[in-house]
Amino acid sequence: MNEPKIVGLGITDFGRFPELTEEALAQSAILGALRDSGLQIRDIEAFYCGNAIGASLPGQRALRELHTGGNAVYNIDNACSSGATAVNAALSALRSRQYETVLVFGMDQLSSLGGGPLPLSRNDWNNKRGMIMPALYAMRATRYMHEHGMEVATLADIAVKNRRHGLLNPIATFCKATTREEVLASRQIAEPLTLLQCCPAVVDGAAAVVLSTKPSKGLSAPVRVLASVVQSGLFETGPEDMIEAEITARTARMAYEQAGIGPQDLSLIECHDAFTISELLYYEALGLCDRGEAPQLLASGATTLGGRIPVNPSGGLIAKGHPPGATGVAQIVEVCEHLQGRAGQRQVEGARLGLTQVTGGGIWGVDHAACSIHILSL
């Protein structure tokens, strides 16, 4: 069997487009990925759709006007990890020879919700008592500051760095430059997290990739998937360590083993910086530094563009926004563009190996319910 590779990329602008629909956004990303792959829609044997917020049958809704010929559509909801989980499922199908060429897309339109944090299940024990995603991460930040003596200014510095990166990314239409002082002075959301420490809540977008075991006809070099791992959260009811990011550490260990590499080999990372504290926790969980050393790693400049291991060169969720169904696929598009040398002004020079990490949560007892990690190379 030939190795499945990513042979086409498509992505929309990420921004507020209330006049559009998630279906229209997805179609734009799908058509872009097909153009990039040199393939027609009839060449695609199956479609995998990641969608977290929309109504039922999202894939079929997006595809019906593209005249697919009726091939299989797999709809996957794994909260913010939906798109990356769809990529994992598609790879499994290619590796089992069920298909030779498939297309994965992720989409969500949050502007239709009118703002505020991501909607969570109202029947959930925690959510009934006022839990929202920013609050969960705020509690992690509070504990991290307590255990490691981190200043709140360090949290703000993540927001400043990622928005600086996002200014170089043409799809990050919401992104504006900011300062540490502006971040800290912005409206409180869940202490110590302020508005500018949270990814924008009302952002729409879609992304798509074509994967194939056939020789590429694409415009750019095909990208290998050295690791693709999806894990679920452990049910925790005891006094667990909330700042360990256990599921990400576990998924990363499996991904590094699958790829035969370590964190020191990576050229860049796109991680799930839904909130500033998230990125710091993931530095440690992904093995970029030891426990409690994330603030020092950030301060060293290592994770900034031009540094040893740039994290979120796209600007991440904080700069681009976070349509959850799309995010995992968008991260993969971003890393592919760097590996292929077509990331424009934000290009990580000499990028050889890139990692994407995205989690999904929002239910009690399993704070991080899903995590997907991919490691990519040419």
Partner 1 sequence: MKLSKRTEPHFRMTENGMLLIATRTVSHPQLQFPPLDYVHGDQPVEEVPIGPFGRLYTYTVVHPGKDSAPYGLAMVDFEPGVRAFGRLICTDGKAPAINSTMRIVPAQLPDGSPDYAFEAVTGECA
- Is residue 372 within 8 A of residue 219, CB to CB? The reply is no
Half-sphere exposure of 50 (CA within 13 A, CB side): 34
| CB 235 to partner 1: min, Å | 8
The span from the CA of 264 to the CA of 285, in Å, is 13
Residues recognised as catalytic? 80
Nearest to 323 by CA among 4, 38, 26: 26
Cβ distance to partner 1 smaller for residue 115 or 215: 115
Question: Would you tell me which residues interact with partner 1 (CB under 8 A)?
Answer: 125-126, 128-132, 134-135, 138-140, 142-143, 146, 187-193, 236-240, 242, 364-365
Cβ distance to partner 1 smaller for residue 146 or 342: 146
- Is residue 313 within 8 A of residue 268, CB to CB? The reply is yes
| CB 122 to partner 1: min, Å | 10
| CB 332 to partner 1: min, Å | 32
Q: 3-state class of 204 per DSSP?
A: strand
Cβ distance to partner 1 smaller for residue 10 or 362: 362
Instruction: Dihedral sign for Cα 295, 298, 299, 302, please.
Output: positive
Query: For strand 366-377 and strand 353-363, is the pairing parallel, antiparallel, or unpaired?
Result: antiparallel
| CB 323 to partner 1: min, Å | 22
Return left, alpha or beta for 176; rule: phi > 0 is left, psi -120 to 50 is alpha, else beta: beta
- Is residue 105 within 8 A of residue 206, CB to CB? The reply is yes
Cβ distance to partner 1 smaller for residue 275 or 283: 275
